[in-house]
Amino acid sequence: MSSAVLGLGANLGDALGALQGAVNSLARTEGITSIRSSAVFATEPVGGPEQPTYVNAVLLIQTTLTPIQLLELVNAVEAEWHRTREVRWGPRTLDIDIITFDSLNSSDPQLTLPHPRAAERGFVLVPWLDVDARAELQGVSVRTLLEGVDTSGVRPLDPPMTLRVHA
């Protein structure tokens, strides 16, 4: 059994519905045995063109899938929500990033692990710490990483919301 951290984000269409739909799809997948979700956060876009505010969450999953199988799965779930890749860091109906997979380090162009920008992104670190107060990225606590990251554009939804996990 492996552990993975997934970052979810969306800012087009039914963004909250896309995040919940992603959780529903993952929960129905053979090989995903457990999912825990952070609260959902509203976040200002980082990089890319001018675009709407995002909603972001982090999932902790237990899986029997390999990293590449998990990548294929999250790409298929994104496709269910009509994800396109036209503009780098552009708006999207759904984005699912594999942040970590166990303690695996990989520089494979298909799947770089851990995610190369996770330590710099408040929209990843804040929800990750929300779901796991002891989270670490390559031996450094997420709490410590957050000390060096601007989180002014990351705020809980009002009213607060957590994605529902149904097996």
Q: What is the pTM of this model?
A: 0.93
pLDDT, tens digit, 9 for 90 and up, residues 32-53: 999 999 999 999 987 767 889 9
For the chain, the structural domain boundaries read 2-156
Phi, psi values for residue 141, rounded to 5°: -65, 145
Q: For residue 74, what are its two tokens?
A: 């999250």
Residue with tokens 């129905």: 28
Question: Is 65 in contact with 31 (CB distance < 8 Å)?
Answer: yes
Q: What tens digit of pLDDT does each residue of 103-149 get?
A: 989 988 889 999 989 999 999 999 999 999 999 999 999 999 999 99
Which pLDDT belongs to residue 18?
94
The phi, psi pair for 24, rounded to 5°, reads -60, -45
Helices within the chain (DSSP H only) = 15-27, 67-80, 122-131, 142-146
Instruction: Give the confidence band of 167 by pLDDT, cuts at 50, 70, 90.
Output: low
Nearest to 56 by CA among 99, 96, 14, 116: 96
The values of phi and psi at residue 9, to 5°, are -155, 150
CB 131 within 8 A of CB 37: yes
Question: CB under 8 Å to 156, separation ≥6 — which residues?
Answer: 39, 40, 41, 42
Q: In the CATH scheme, what is the homologous superfamily, with its name and number, of domain 2-156?
A: 7,8-Dihydro-6-hydroxymethylpterin-pyrophosphokinase HPPK (3.30.70.560)
d(CA 112, CA 105): 7
Backbone Cα Rg of the chain: 15
Q: How many residues comprise the chain?
A: 167
Q: How confident is the prediction for the chain on average, in pLDDT?
A: 91
